Homo-oligomer: A and B are copies of this chain.
Amino acid sequence: MTGSGVTNWLGANTPETNRRASTEAATSSRADIPLRDSNISSLIKPQIFSRFWSTGLLDREDLQTLQAQEWTRRTVEARTRFQMGRGFCVLASGLAARYGVSDAEEAQSTALIVPGDICDYSVATGTEPRARLVALTKSSYLWISAEQAIALAENAPNVLAAILAQLVIDRAVSEELLFSIARRTALERTAHFLCELEYRLRRMGLAHGGRFRLPMTQAEIGRHLGLTPVHVNRTMQELRRRHFVRSNGSGVELCDQQNLQQLAAFSPHYLNLSAGPSDQAFDA
């Protein structure tokens, strides 16, 4: 049944070539980012769409269709809400946080959105937008109208499949955050947060050698991790004291990823579609 090119519920058909790359990637070592067909990957322009490609569900034609859409670039000032309306959009630059459906939940962000991430899945699920997105820094996103998105999904079902696949990853990230807040100490939690963010930024080419920009105040980090600003501060200090992390201003460097990952029990498999630790190849 999964024999040749898994057909998903949407009738989309996974291209064999890309798929195999995906399976190989699963075997790569711990925090390595699965590189697939990198000669193509590097040609993806804007880089934003490389996340779609990395699902392993698109062929080149799909990618071209995606790129051919009439994307509008919109800018959002720091600390202001996204006004997405009904439409589909992908974060192009900056950093944003998603807040829950309840009003009182201003105090807790449920997800961090980095460039390449899909801002809202409401178009794919056919429901009204629920999430409230707030830009943490001046950000920009690429946007197409709901109509165009619907047409896109019809013309290129693989693209819809890729979007839904990202939704699945998004959920896994949420689950990991839930676990982090429920079970990890502040130190482990913060370490995990840094590891995850570094990984996600790195695969978008926004982190190199463990260095990246973290344009969040400690209060914002606290809102994300369920900690008070004061405790975030002390926790970061402890990480620095242990020489796991260095930082100056909004610049962060994970100088001892080995230990940091161990402390956090971080493994990036949940950030990828099919690279579970106990995952067997699902073609044959």
Contacts and interface: CB of A to CB of B under 8 A. Distances in A.
A8 B128 contact: no
Contact of A100 (B160, B176, B278): B176
Given A9-B149, A178-B181, A179-B105, A126 B269 contact: no
B164 A125 contact: yes
- What's the number of copies of this chain in the assembled complex? 2
A160 B161 CA distance: 13
Contact of A160 (B9, B105, B165, B265): B9
Contacts of A167: 125, 167
B9 A124 contact: yes
Contact of A11 (B6, B122, B154, B273): B154
Given A130-B172, A164-B127, A267 B102 contact: yes
B104 A265 contact: yes
Interface residues of A, number: 64
A277 interface: yes
Contact of A126 (B100, B123, B164, B282): B164
Contact of A101 (B9, B160, B164, B276): B276
7 contacts: A8-B127, A9-B126, A9-B160, A122-B168, A171-B171, A174-B178, A181-B181
Interface of A: 1-2, 6-12, 57, 86, 100-105, 107-108, 110, 121-128, 130, 146-147, 149-150, 153-154, 160-161, 164-165, 167-168, 171-172, 174-179, 181-183, 225-226, 265, 267, 269-270, 273-274, 276-278, 282
